[in-house]
Amino acid sequence: MINGKGWKVKVSELLNRMFELQYGGSSSTKFRWMQGYTDGYIQALIDMGFMPENAMLEMIRSERATFLDVQPESEGMKKAA
């Protein structure tokens, strides 16, 4: 159930898990599944009016930047750069 500001924490958790899979060298199947799940969750929040699309995109950019600055560099991250 989505209530209060808890959805922001959930989106942050989903994005971080997706980035771990994307930049950590996980299998394409796991990453694509997580990407689809995260995208669907975010799209539902936008459709329900929790946040405008452009504000959500800014949140995603911010989460990605934070993730890439915080995480130790791995082989998967070197390839992405």
pLDDT tens per residue, range 8-41: 899 999 999 999 999 988 889 999 999 999 999 9
- Does any domain span residue 54? yes
Query: Is residue 8 included in any domain, yes or no?
Result: no
Domain region containing 52: 29-69
Report if residue 63 sits inside a domain: yes
Number of domains in the chain: 1
Residue 48: per-residue pLDDT: 92
Contact 41, 54 (CB under 8 A): no
The DSSP code for 71 is S
Q: What is the pLDDT of residue 15?
A: 95
If we measure between CA atoms, which residue out of 35, 1, 33, 30 comes closest to residue 15?
35
Report the half-sphere exposure of 65 (CA within 13 A, side-chain side). 6
Mean of all residue pLDDT scores within the chain? 84
The dihedral over CA atoms of 58, 63, 68, 74, expressed in degrees to the nearest 10, equals -130
Q: Is the pLDDT of residue 50 over 60?
A: yes
Give the CA radius of gyration of the chain: 13
What is the pLDDT confidence band of residue 7, given thresholds at 50, 70 and 90? confident
In a domain, 2, yes or no: no
Residue 69 has pLDDT above 90, yes or no: no
